[in-house]
Structure 1
C-alpha cells in the first residue's frame, strides 16, 4: 500500500516555532535504501491500530494517536503542547500490515526541551521498535537504516513508496535550525522492517 501523503513542496513538518537546542545528528543522504534481505521478516498481520510505541534502546515509551492529513496535504503531527505523543498516519498501513506504517514525533520544543523523538537520529541498525496494537498483539520491527534528508528535497517515493513487506518509518526533524522559518531544515527518518509476529 502506498501512502499518498504529501503535496508538492509541502513535506511534513514537525517544525518548532521557536529556536531550541540542536538535536543529535544523523547521516545526510539522498541515496535509495531498501530493507536488507536478511532482516528475518515475519508474516504480515491483520490490520489493527497502534496504541503505543516503544524503542528500548533510546528510552521511548509513548502513546500513539491516529491522524490523517492537514489541509495543506502534509501529515498530521502531535501538537507542540504534547511533545511526548506520537502520531500515526491512520490512512496508511497499520503496523504489521504490508506497506509503510508511518509515525511522527517532535524532536524538541521551547517548552519541553527534548521531546519524544529527540534521540531517533541515534538509532543504529538492529535496534528494535515495538508497537502494541488494539488487538492486544505487539508488532516488532528492526531498524535497518537512519537517514537525514533536506525538507526542500524530501524523497517522498523512497520514504513512503510501495514495499512488499511490513515496514515502519519514524520521522522527526533534524539538521540545522532555520530561524527565519522557525523550523529545522531537515527530516530524520528511521527505516525498519517487521521481524517478529506477536506471541
Structure 2
C-alpha cells in the first residue's frame, strides 16, 4: 500500500515558429526599398500551474512559489525511542500528479520541491508506505509514537533534532493540505504515512497518520 500525496505540476510552454522557402522562379525583390516596421514586444502567455486534486495533495508548489535556492536534502531519519531508522531519498511528482513515494516501505521520500534540512522555515515533508509486499515498514510504528519523542534528521554534514508536538489520524479527504506542505512560517518536520481501514477494491487505506515535530536546539 502506498501513501498517496497529490501535488501541483510545473508546466513549461515552448512556442515554435515554422517557416518555408519561397518559389525559386519569383523575381528578386529589392529589400532596401521596403519600409522597416518597428519590432513589437513579444507577448508571453501567463503560465498557470494546474492544481491537481486527490487523496493527499502537494499544495502550494506553483512555479511562482518555488524555493529560490537549492535545498539540503535530508538523507537519514531515526526515532531512537521506537528503534526506527530509515534512509531518505528525494522525490518529486509522478505522472498522475501525486507525490512520489519510494516503492520500498523501508525508505522514506523527502518532497524536494519543499524546504530542506537547513531551510529554517516551512515544513520538511517525509512520506513512506506503511507497508509493502514484504510486510509492514518502519512508518507503521508512527501510530505508537508519543508527544515529546525525539526525531533525528541527518543530511550532508548536518544533524537536526525535532520533538514530536502532535500526532493525528485523519481521513485522506479531510487532510489540511496547505498546512502539511507549507513553505513559509515556523519550521516543522512532518512525517506522513497511511492508516485506518484498508479498502480492498480501491487498494487504499482510508486515513493518513501525520506526525508533526518542532525543531530542538541545532545539533549539527
TM-score greater than 0.5 by the shorter chain: yes
Structure 2 residues without counterparts, runs of 5 or longer: 1-5, 9-50, 58-69
- 1:72: which partner in 2? 96
User: Larger radius of gyration, structure 1 or 2?
Assistant: 2
TM-score relative to the length of structure 1: 0.74
> Which of these residues, 190, 199, 203, is aligned with residue 169 of structure 1?
190
SS at match of 1:196: coil
RMSD: 2.0
State the 1:162 CA deviation.
4.8
Q: In 2, distance between residues paired with 1:163 and 1:57?
A: 29
Q: How is 1:90-105 mapped onto 2 (pairs within 5 angstroms)?
A: 90-97=112-119, 98-105=121-128
Deviations 1:81-127 (A, max 9, x none): x2201110011100242110000111112x22111201112111101
TM-score relative to the length of structure 2: 0.67
Q: How many residues align?
A: 160
Q: In 2, distance between residues paired with 1:158 and 1:47?
A: 20
Contact between 1:146 and 1:189, CA under 8 Å: does it hold in 2? Answer: yes
Q: In 1, distance between residues paired with 2:207 and 2:100?
A: 17
Deviations 1:53-82 (A, max 9, x none): 111122211111001111222211011xx2
Structure 1 residues without counterparts, runs of 5 or longer: 14-45
